[in-house]
Chains A and B, each alone.
Chain A
Amino acid sequence: MDYILSGLIHAFELLFQGDPETYSAVKTTVLASSLSVGASMVIGAPLGFCLGYAHFPGRRLIRVIVDTLLSLPTVVIGLLCYAFMSHRGPLGGLELLFTIPGMAIGQTILGLPIVVAMTATAVENLDYRLKQTLLTLGTDPRQLLLTSLWEARFALALAGAAAYGRIVSEVGISMMVGGNIKWHTRTITTAIALETGKGQFAMGIALGLILITLALLVNLAMSGLKRLSGQ
């Protein structure tokens, strides 16, 4: 029982004394996850729009595939990314292994299905008269896309927040692709795994607290958005 309490106390010391190791891990986490959430949104929102808006053969099959990808384990993504980014792999020349962009690519694969699935659902649920109105007004496809996405903006933000929550808490991709390199690719979650492995529970608890705080902020933002959208 003792070490849990002393862990908590030490955690606050680390946080408020600005321990550089702790803040380096926080920085890497925020950086990698922002990059990957950004990429997931930019790639995922248009794809989700197409999936929710257009009717084409095989659409339901793709929906099922996207929904299945929602439960893609992070370790599998990590393994695949490692295999591709290793110097023996097809993307070896790009020097992505053990870098933050490399991690962000893996995390984008994790976040993409979430954004696609949630955007598709949001677009499906848009008032169908919107499309009729837009078409009557003579919009081109690009305007159609942007206007529809704008109408679904709150749902899109929720998709981004959901993706963020999943990405910020994953450990498999960061560990395998990033390599948990101190001062470079060590994230909050890989640091917790490492510190626990080293028997340094205090550091682990400190980092856990920060991660929970980040999750809390994301969820506060989500509930704020929900209220804004009047749901």
Chain B
Amino acid sequence: MVRKSVFLFLTALALWMAGPLSGSAADSLMLATTTSTDNTGLMDILAPELKKDTGIELKWTAIGTGKALEMGKNCDVDVLLVHAPAAEKKYVADGFGKDRTQVMYNDFVIIGPENDPAGLKDSSVLEAIRKLGAGKAAFVSRGDNSGTNKKEIFLWKEAGLAVPDKEKWYVQTGQGMIATINVATEKGGYTMTDRGTFIKFADNHAGNPPLRVWVENDPALFNQYSIIAVNPANCKNVQYELTRKFTDWMTSKKIQNLIGNFKLLNKKLYIPNAR
């Protein structure tokens, strides 16, 4: 009796588990993306739509742009959705990527506590960066070579400052965007984030986030997201045809509208701009 039930249990378990193992279903595309597109929930909306429209099963791993580019170099993914234009152009020029296609944009914002200890109110971006560089309040950096981190490093240089590293007020988390914002909240400090993730953060706090936007609407803070196919000339195993399909789909009118209508707290997180 006991044996029989153990046997039945094991058989049921095996059947239940057999699914995922034999799961190399027809067309699956491996995407490396930034933490922001995943953290905000955009990928959760796109993936089922893609499956419905094209039959392609999208698998994505959410890491920073720097690591995503690296995974493409290693041929471990088929396609990238990233946001560091300068690094991307070099990547394509070096032959690792192909067909860089703009998909959508938003902008970066510098956020901080309500009492604004560093006095960023009404500053331009570069003024704000210089004030932050004085070290009166904590600044929390991604510190992970992600697109946001690359932009932040660019801004330090643009402001004519050395990029901080060991300074007491400079905190490098090495984590995703919302995790980093949470650290800034705990430390009562500032951080830079893309607007989409900030809206998601505000949504997590039911529209009443503990940090607010102090610096925004500056051309230097523009944040472009693009698709890059991993170059099949460099990686024989990648699914270039599926990537082309995926890119066409992402830039189609229907999906561009879908991205444009993706809202939290009634605010757009990304603005489509495929050409």
Chain A interface residues (CB < 8 Å from chain B): 27-28, 30-31, 34, 86-88, 92, 95, 97-98, 100-101, 179-184, 194, 196-200
- A27 near B76 with CB under 8 A, answer no
* 7 more A-B residue pairs beyond the given contacts A31-B20, A180-B61, with a C-beta to C-beta distance below 8 A: A87-B74, A92-B237, A182-B43, A194-B62, A197-B176, A198-B39, A199-B182
Q: Is B213 an interface residue (CB 8 A)?
A: no
Query: Chain A at the B interface: mostly helix, strand, loop or mixed?
Result: loop
**A199, B178: Cβ atoms closer than 8 Å:** yes
Whether A180 lies near B62 (C-beta < 8 A) is: yes
Output the nearest chain B residue to A21 by Cβ-Cβ distance: B44
Residues of B within 8 A of A88 (CB): 73-75
Interface presence of B179 (CB below 8 A):
yes
Known A-B contacts A87-B74, A87-B237; the reply to A181 vs B59 at CB < 8 A is yes
From A92, A101, A180, A181, give the contact of B21 (CB < 8 A). A101
Residues of A within 8 A of B176 (CB): 197-198
The B interface is mostly helix, strand or loop, or mixed, namely helix
Check if A86 sits within 8 Å of B20, measured CB to CB.
no
A34 to B13, CA, bound (A): 10
A-B contact count (CB 8 A): 68
Instruction: Specify which chain B residues have a CB less than 8 angstroms from the CB of A179 in the assembled complex.
Output: 61
Contact of B235 with A87 in the complex, beta carbons under 8 Å = yes
Docked complex Cα distance between A196 and B35 (Å) = 13
A184's closest neighbor in chain B, by CB? B59
**For residue B176, which residue of chain A has the nearest CB?**
A197
Contact of B17 with A by CB under 8 A: yes
Establish whether residues A98 and B61, one from each chain, have CB atoms under 8 Å apart when the complex forms.
yes
Residue from B17, B181, B235 within 8 A of A30 (CB atoms): B17
A87–B30 alpha-carbon span in the complex (Å): 13
Give the total of B residues in contact with A, Cβ under 8 Å.
Answer: 30
Q: Which residues of A contact B13 (CB under 8 A)?
A: 30, 34
Q: How far is B59's CA from A28's CA once the two chains are assembled, in angstroms?
A: 15
CA distance A30 to B14 in the complex (A): 11
With contact pairs A98-B76, A184-B23 given, residues A197 and B175 touching in the complex (Cβ less than 8 Å):
yes
Q: How far is the CB of A89 from chain B (nearest CB, A)?
A: 8
Q: In the complex the two chains form, what is the Cα distance from A27 to B73 in whole Å? A: 32
State how many angstroms separate the Cβ of B232 from the closest Cβ of chain A. Answer: 12
Known A87-B235, A197-B176; contact A27-B74, beta-carbon cutoff 8 A: no
Smallest beta-carbon distance A221→chain B, Å = 13
Is the Cβ of B61 less than 8 Å from the Cβ of A181?
Answer: yes
Give chain A residues whose Cβ lies under 8 Å from the Cβ of B62. 180, 194
Q: Mark B37-64, 1 if CB is under 8 A from A, else 0.
A: 0010001100100000000000111100
Q: Which residues of A contact B237 (CB under 8 A)?
A: 87, 92, 95
Contacting pair B17 A87 (CB below 8 A) = no
Whole-angstrom CA separation of A184 from B20 in the bound complex: 7
Q: Does B201 contact A (CB under 8 A)?
A: yes
Q: Which 9 A-B pairs have the closest CB atoms?
A: A87-B75, A179-B61, A197-B179, A197-B176, A31-B17, A88-B74, A86-B74, A199-B204, A181-B59
